[in-house]
């Protein structure tokens, strides 16, 4: 049987051997990280070592890292009314971009009437002028913008966003989950107040993430209350195996990030050239703006995402139609809808994303599968849609 090709790395990445070893090693550690005896201190040391590594991979201080059960919890924890920097008034409303992850679009702990949507342009980049107009209203706002989109890979101008937010006494949360491990991220350099990350996107275990909280941010209320773990910011005994694996994955990802970016860029060029060669009317979304090197979201006239995903799967290729965070059903992309893509085209968006184990042969096999599928799934001689992309 031909070996399958996994090209859905933005949904989750394979567990790195280093992370697996770190997880297994903690099974021999009995202590609770909050206990003061020797066993507890040993567990606490593992916890803190991972915190130091995760923080260092983002140019941050260890005390800024709050470990959570994943990025969704980190996002909900971040989206808290009343946040403020020292000397500024508390935020009372939330502004999110139209292309955010569902855990951000849901508003966290803000009431729905207090949540406003900032539009994006046709390339999927947040409209800074519209964002500034929203910020100009009172009272001050918490703004949540992802660093890079999980579907298109488009990288947002976060430093420009931060300038607008700070000028209006707002607070900035950045969902960095899709970008973590793929591009250089410096928490202080972004001028973000809060930043969410997840372990399983970089080869760590599932079920663990983190929220970085700037030192001068005030008003963060824990979503889970009880004990005083994580300096009172997240109650509950820490997931020591998951956190140890997270630290190990973060260290490897940081060490290999530049090499991974170059590797991914070469593969993406090969992929996108091949897609266009097979079907000239293929549309690559966000192709004219900076993108994550490992991500391609494409479609073609007449393509239906659900049929195409199944077709690729039958050919032994795992791809997706965008975010993998729904109930397993192929849904129309809210990201493409926000980018004003025609509904018929938006229903055909296919995401191919790859990682450190992806090879040129994997890309060639995906292209071979696309060649077979395109013959029956794509409308021929339809070049009119290209005028808009």
What tokens appear for 114 in the block? 């207090």
Tokens linked to 274: 């091949």
Please report, for residues 73, 266, 268, 388, the alpha-carbon distance to residue 214 in angstroms, rounded to integers and kept in the order given.
18, 36, 35, 41
Residue 325: active-site member:
yes
* Residues 174, 187: Cα–Cα separation, whole Å: 10
Are 141 and 173 within 8 A, CB to CB? Answer: no
> What gap in Å lies between CA 149 and CA 153, rounded to an integer?
5
Active-site pick, 30, 266, 273, 325:
325
Taking the C-alpha atoms of residue 57 and residue 73, their distance in angstroms, rounded to an integer, is 21
- For 212-359, where are the alpha helices, taking DSSP H only? 240-278, 305-314, 334-338, 343-346
- Complete edge-to-edge strand list for the sheet that includes strand 171-175: 65-68, 209-213, 194-198, 171-175, 141-146, 93-97, 115-118
Sign of CA dihedral 269, 273, 275, 280: positive
Residues annotated as catalytic are 325
């Amino acid at each position: 049987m031909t070996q399958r090709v996994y090209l859905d790395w933005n949904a989750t990445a394979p567990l790195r051997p280093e992370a697996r070893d770190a997880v297994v090693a903690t099974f021999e550690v009995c202590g609770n990280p909050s206990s003061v005896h020797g066993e507890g201190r040993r567990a606490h040391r593992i916890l803190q070592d991972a915190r130091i590594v995760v923080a260092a991979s983002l140019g941050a201080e260890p005390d800024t890292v709050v470990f959570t059960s994943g990025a969704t919890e980190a996002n909900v924890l971040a989206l808290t009314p009343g946040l403020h920097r020292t000397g500024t008034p508390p935020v009372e409303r939330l502004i999110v971009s139209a292309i955010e992850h569902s855990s951000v679009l849901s508003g966290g702990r803000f009431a729905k009437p207090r949540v406003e949507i900032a539009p994006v342009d046709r390339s999927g980049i947040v409209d800074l002028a519209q964002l500034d107009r929203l910020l100009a209203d009172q009272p001050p706002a918490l703004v949540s913008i992802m660093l890079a989109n999980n579907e298109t890979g488009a990288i947002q101008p976060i430093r420009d966003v931060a300038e607008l937010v700070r000028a209006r006494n707002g607070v900035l949360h950045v969902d960095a989950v899709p970008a973590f491990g793929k591009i250089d991220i410096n928490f202080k350099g972004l001028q973000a107040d809060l930043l969410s990350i997840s372990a399983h996107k970089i080869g760590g275990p599932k079920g663990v993430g983190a929220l970085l909280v700037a030192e001068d941010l005030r008003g963060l209320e824990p979503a889970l209350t009880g004990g005083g773990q994580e300096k009172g910011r997240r109650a509950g005994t820490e997931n020591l195996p998951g956190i140890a694996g997270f630290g190990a994955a973060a260290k490897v990802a940081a060490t290999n990030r530049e090499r991974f970016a170059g590797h991914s860029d070469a593969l993406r060029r090969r992929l996108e050239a091949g897609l266009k060669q097979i079907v000239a009317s293929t549309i690559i979304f966000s192709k004219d703006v900076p993108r994550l090197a490992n991500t391609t979201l494409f479609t073609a006239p007449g393509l239906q995402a659900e049929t195409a995903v199944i077709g690729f799967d039958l050919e032994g290729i795992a791809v997706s139609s965008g975010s993998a965070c729904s109930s397993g059903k192929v849904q129309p992309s809210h990201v493409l809808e926000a980018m004003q893509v025609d509904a018929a085209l938006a229903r055909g968006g296919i995401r191919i994303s790859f990682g450190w184990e992806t090879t040129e042969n994997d890309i060639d096999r995906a292209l071979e599968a696309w060649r077979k599928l395109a013959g029956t799934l794509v409308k021929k001689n339809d070049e009119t849609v290209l005028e808009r992309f």
